[in-house]
Amino acid sequence: MSTRLPRVGLSACFFHADPQRPIFKGKTLLYVEESMAHYVAQAGGLPLMIPTAAGAISLEAAVAEMDGLVLQGGSDVCPRSYGEEPLDPRWEGDHLRDLYEISLIRAFRAAGKPILGICRGLQVINVALGGTLFQDITTQLDGAREHRNWDVYDQLKHEIICEPGSWFAKIHGGDSFTVNSVHHQGIKDLAPDLVVQARSVSDGVVEAISLGPEPKDDDFLVGVQWHPEFQTPEDRDLLSREPILSRFMDAVRRRVEAAHVGS
């Protein structure tokens, strides 16, 4: 049995070079949001941010050292990443981060390593596999409910409903739950091979996806639209943050053990 901690790669969030920023003037910052690092660590994973490739360390070399990937939330996905022009300058997004994360998704998939996408992570998975997004749900979807409120941020909540008989309903032991909501973009055209696991009640916005109806260890690819890492165990009115991470970490550990046995 391997005693090494599972290494979970976290995609970096970007602060691009800003000559007006009071610290690291004119420098690009790559960072991890603390709640995400703690979320992974509390499940027994060693969270390691994956930087953009440079020098002798290629993206593939970095992926080879990791056992799984978590795609963090953050900035908008750029519409140009799925063949559209921004409908509003506010929705320009971060094309450079898109390219970086799409490359990570493809490399981890090629290596057969598990992937979990959170909020933006769900969206960029859909784009990487050939889908498109609503640039702004409120503007582009008739009858849309509120999915983001800056003033209350992660305290905004709404109901989701699982697809009948879905894997997601099975692992959570029910069909209808409450989640937090901190997004204004969402899946418009679902990518081929992806399956909807859950939707927002009343407007049908996609809230959870997977590759195939039931994720497999050698191709574990799952995304959720909310932020389980922002929750605390005391948030009893929200869908438990544990089952989805537990299934991801189980797949990661089995991948580590298989590699250890084969070495």
Q: Annotated catalytic sites, by residue?
A: 119, 227, 229
Q: How far apart are alpha carbons 161 and 176 in whole angstroms?
A: 4
Please list, residue by residue across 164-201, b when 16 or more beta carbons sit within 10 angstroms of its beta carbon and e when fewer do: eebbbbebbeeeebebbbbbbbbbbebbeebbbbbbbb
**Residue 3 and residue 59: Cα distance in Å, rounded?**
26
What's the one-letter identity of residue 200? S
3-state SS class at 215 = coil
